[in-house]
Amino acid sequence: MTKTHRRRSSRFSYLPKDHPTLLSRALYVTQIFHFGDFKCATLLHEGVKKCLPRVFNQTYRDRLAKFETRHARSKGLGMFARCGIPAGSIILVEHPLLIMPRTSSATVSDISCLLSEVHPKERTEFMNLANSQPLEDPLKAIMQTNRLLIDLPVDDPELAAHHAVFLKISRCNHSCSPNAHWKWDSASFTLTLEAVRDIGPSEEITIQYIDSSVDRQQRLDRLRSWYNFDCLCPSCTLPRKSIIHSDFAREELSHLTELMVSFEAWCASEELSDDYMIRMHQRALELREAEGLQLFESRKHIDAIAMCYGALGDVAMFRYWTKKARSLRAPSYVGGCVVLDQWMMDPRRFPVWGWRNSRRGDVL
């Protein structure tokens, strides 16, 4: 019988050493997490297992379902908005079904063993997920098609990287100009899907499967090679002249990223102008808006611009950009919004207020 340790909203199940699976090989263990009635089956290195918390943080959950799954023409099933979803809103929060190390050579037997530990309903849902490699074994092909790269809290980057499958977000189709983006939180063991721009009712909710900042031909080649489909998203079906313009814009965005320095380096620099970082981030914002590449990066650009104006001691512009930063925070980020409100009311409470001026010896 499996020994179970209960811990509030989650518990660990340790399989006996004689469990009929390849997962009992040296240094790797099978571990089952319970979140209410939902089971998450994982294959973990011993070093990773020791770093995981016994109790996971509670997460924000909106009981009103904002999406539905239905057919998306030639793409199979897709995720669609049931109502208007403002930018910055949380669309879903989801626990993974399966987690496996990125560095291990997972076998079909490994995947089968993990699936045997989850509920039959979720096992059936897994088998019904997209399979972009029909000539491969179904279990391995479904895992490869739907896996996302996540990190678990361990210092060794090789051990930290894992592949995870999530049943709901796996229904999100790809776009090279996605309207949603996901982030992983190991403290709560959840993935959060957020809208990066306003999504209209019945509009399909999309994410990027690859780095979409590269040019169109590279995107098409990678998607064909890794996922076995030709991308027909709006960015890939533009007229030829528009595609050339788009490729140049994405190349400029990559170049801008390389030219940016850290906030601390800019504050201390006598060579860089006061508006150097502001111009860089504003141009990056313009390019992201034009190319539909907001992702979470737009929020970072806006945060950086607000910080720059704070470091320059510019009250009006600091308040303007901090207000924009606040508008992109989801309702669940109550604590963060409270802090931003305090800074807008009294900018001098901003921790690095006037920092660039003071570092250069300027008088505020």
Residues facing 269 on adjacent strands: none
Condensed to tens digits (0 to 9), the pLDDT of residues 277-318 reads: 999 999 999 999 999 998 878 889 999 999 999 999 999 999
| pLDDT at residue 172 greater than cutoff 70 | yes
| pLDDT at residue 11 greater than cutoff 60 | no
Euclidean distance between CA atoms 68 and 213, whole angstroms: 28
> What percentage of the chain reaches a pLDDT higher than 90?
67
Euclidean distance between CA atoms 185 and 253, whole angstroms: 27
- At residue 60 the predicted structure's pLDDT band, cuts being 50, 70 and 90, is low
Nearest partner of 104 among 186, 190, 42, judged by Cα: 42
Residue by residue, DSSP assigns 108-134 as HHHHHHHHTTS-HHHHHHHHTS--S-T
> What's the 3-state SS for 338-352?
HHHHHHHHCHHHCCC
Total residues found in the chain within this entry: 364
Assess contact for 200 and 143: CB atoms under 8 A.
no
- At residue 73 the predicted structure's pLDDT band, cuts being 50, 70 and 90, is confident
| pLDDT at residue 256 greater than cutoff 70 | yes
Residues facing 250 on adjacent strands: none
User: Among 206-210, 236-240, 291-295, 336-340, whose mean pLDDT is lowest?
Assistant: 336-340
Give the residue-averaged pLDDT of 272-281: 95
pLDDT, position 173? 96
Question: Which residues have a Cβ under 8 Å from the Cβ of 45 and sit 6 or more positions away?
Answer: 27, 28, 101, 159
| pLDDT at residue 360 greater than cutoff 80 | no
Condensed to tens digits (0 to 9), the pLDDT of residues 107-166 reads: 888 999 999 999 999 999 999 999 998 877 999 999 999 999 999 988 888 889 999 999
CA distances from residue 360 to 178, 305, 309 in whole angstroms, order as listed = 42, 19, 15
Q: Kindly report the backbone phi and psi dihedral angles of residue 194, in degrees, each rounded to the nearest multiple of 5, phi listed first.
A: -125, 150
Nearest partner of 129 among 115, 139, 114, judged by Cα: 139
Assess contact for 359 and 267: CB atoms under 8 A.
yes
Nearest partner of 204 among 87, 75, 61, 331, judged by Cα: 75
- Considering just the CA atoms, what is the radius of gyration of the chain in Å? 23
Give 362's Cβ-side CA count (13 Å radius).
15
- At residue 55 the predicted structure's pLDDT band, cuts being 50, 70 and 90, is confident
Looking at residue 200, its amino acid is G
- Count of beta carbons in the 10 Å neighbourhood of residue 34: 17
Assess contact for 353 and 328: CB atoms under 8 A.
no
pLDDT, position 363? 44
Kindly indicate whether the domain formed by 25-227 is annotated with CATH number 3.30.70.100.
no
| pLDDT at residue 7 greater than cutoff 70 | no
Condensed to tens digits (0 to 9), the pLDDT of residues 23-38 reads: 445 688 899 999 989 9
